[in-house]
Chain A
């Protein structure tokens, strides 16, 4: 790794660690007030209090795990579905069927992710799992596109055609001809999807989707505390900085990898 990659990797890893272990480190309660609203930091409350006078440090510690888990679950789910559909579409000889599937996939990709997220969250309100499933649903089309392109390139190589002509079963062809070349691209793609999923999960929290009000969530903290910026900016700034460090860290790590493997972040365009 280059120096630049280390600079990006260290904060991102720290934020991930903080998010995952944070809920175990919480000393006090995340929902009972410990003082007046928007108190500046003092002894006992190192980051001050939020809009309802709750301990900001406890809420920061507790508010990251849901977000990271939602993003991770959505990435895994979306990548697995994307791999299956993408590999099938890249290998099949049913050009019409795969063409039709790809058209539908493109159609879904065209609809703004937030719109689908809002719709699904409206159907099953107050549910964190729904947010993860909705994020997975909006990330599948992008994965399918990338995986299909790469699989198609691999499936039309001479060795893959040889294997097909020899009558190898398709499981063996996927295992030995396609997967070895596909894995790096799939990993880079999954990384990009993870960044997009974190952004969407944070935005979902910001818009108040997912688990209801007393639960802490970095995205929602930014929203609910933005009225008290003049008095205590920390309940907005701390979660915001954590989210940015995570997103930019992972993006910067991926930029180089993605550049060589899937043609850069550019062609993928907007992440979320």
Chain B
């Protein structure tokens, strides 16, 4: 039963963090000076026109009241209306989510497979040649900002080896899923950005398991080959699951840059454009949805890790 109450505490913490995030989002976009009036009324507006816009948008009311109205709308699933396009923010978010996932899912699957296999091999032979090469490569990848990795890919594939389109222009009426050649470069850029740290976390977890007394006991008892790998991997799994959820949460952040560079019409691309246009309701909606998704992913990861750990512990006791 301790696990159940632990999960309850984690869910409550997650909800509290989301509340704090909603405060930050609201405060940053509405209370700080860069406000929406200038956007809607245009640069040549007179003071009277600005005041009229201010009243029409409800910006003359006290911030706390506006926050209350905004949160009440959130609870009903109403994220407000975009100032620039006039469309509902919730509709935009749902439409953009598909494109984001089309890039994110292949990248995440690629990282899980590549980092999983290479991390296990490198961790099992810590200090070996492959381990040292991978250590250097991942250090380079961690040290390079995502936008540079993406730019390098852009240079290589769009200029020197023009086999893949550099900019994702989706024909009208079709979804990004139908065009794997448009997804390839952004997904690769995202995957390379997340690969370094994930591989390092997995390698550390496997190397730690290899060094435990029970792993040595297994080796001394002549357990070799697949059975030995299975023992190690099963015991290194809980931290690995955690590493993967952190990685996916990080990909959502990296997606902002990669989508902007490759013009993938996803959540991150829309967010940077909304920030440039000072489209306040859209920024608020997108930021909160992105934050909520990240928190939910991390929460799921925490719970899975906990359950896995409990299971290995129970097996050890029985």
Contact = CB atoms under 8 A, between A and B. Distances in A.
Contact-size category for A = 35 or more
Interface in A91-128: 103-104, 106-108, 110-116, 118-125
Nearest 3 pairs of A and B residues by beta carbon: A123-B32, A112-B253, A107-B17
Interface in B34-54: 34
B29 A110 contact: no
B201 A119 contact: no
B275 to A, nearest CB: 5
B271 interface: yes
Nearest to A237: B155
Contacts of A104: 16-17, 20
A118 B142 CA distance: 22
Contacts of A252: 139, 143
A210 interface: no
B213 to A, nearest CB: 20
Contacts of B197: 265-266, 269-271
Contacts of B33: 123-124
Contacts of A271: 142-143, 197
Contacts of B250: 112, 269-270
Contacts of B252: 112
25 contacts: A110-B294, A111-B17, A111-B291, A112-B294, A113-B253, A114-B254, A115-B253, A118-B275, A118-B283, A119-B29, A124-B33, A124-B34, A207-B260, A226-B261, A229-B158, A240-B151, A244-B144, A248-B143, A250-B143, A252-B143, A265-B142, A269-B250, A270-B194, A270-B246, A271-B142
B91 interface: no
B152 interface: yes
Given A229-B155, A270-B246, A243 B201 contact: no
Given A114-B256, A207-B260, A248-B143, A121 B275 contact: yes
B154 A226 contact: yes
Contact of B256 (A115, A122, A226): A115
Contacts of B254: 114
B243 interface: yes
Interface in B219-272: 243, 246-247, 249-250, 252-254, 256-257, 260-261, 271-272
Given A112-B249, A269-B201, A271-B142, A119 B34 contact: no
B294 A122 contact: no
B21 interface: yes
Contact of B257 (A103, A111, A203): A203
Contact of A266 (B29, B31, B200, B276): B200
A206 B21 CA distance: 25
A211 interface: no
- A interface secondary structure, majority: helix
A244 B139 CA distance: 11
A121 B287 CA distance: 13
Contacts of A149: none
A115 B20 contact: no
A248 B144 contact: yes
Nearest to A246: B143
A125 B145 contact: no
Q: Which residue of A237, A243, A269 has the most chain B CB atoms within 10 A of its CB atom? A: A269
Contacts of A230: 159
Given A111-B21, A265-B200, A118 B272 contact: yes
A49 B254 CA distance: 30
Nearest to A120: B28
B24 interface: yes
A206 B283 contact: no
B281 to A, nearest CB: 12
Contacts of B204: 264, 266-267
B159 A195 contact: no
Nearest to B162: A230
A54 B260 CA distance: 25
A142 to B, nearest CB: 12
Contact of A236 (B27, B143, B151, B275): B151
B108 interface: no
Contacts of A199: 145
B102 to A, nearest CB: 19
A82 B152 CA distance: 35
Contacts of A114: 253-254, 256-257
B59 interface: no
B147 interface: yes
Given A219-B147, A236-B151, A122 B29 contact: yes
B298 interface: yes
B295 interface: yes
A233 B276 CA distance: 27
Nearest to B141: A248
Given A110-B294, A207-B260, A222 B34 contact: no
A208 interface: yes
B28 A119 contact: yes
A46 B154 CA distance: 25
B314 to A, nearest CB: 26
Interface string B155-166: 100110000000
B130 interface: no
Residue from A112, A113, A237, A247 whose CB has the most chain B CB atoms within 10 Å:
A112
A139 interface: no
Contact of A251 (B32, B143, B253, B287): B143
Contact of A203 (B17, B146, B203): B146
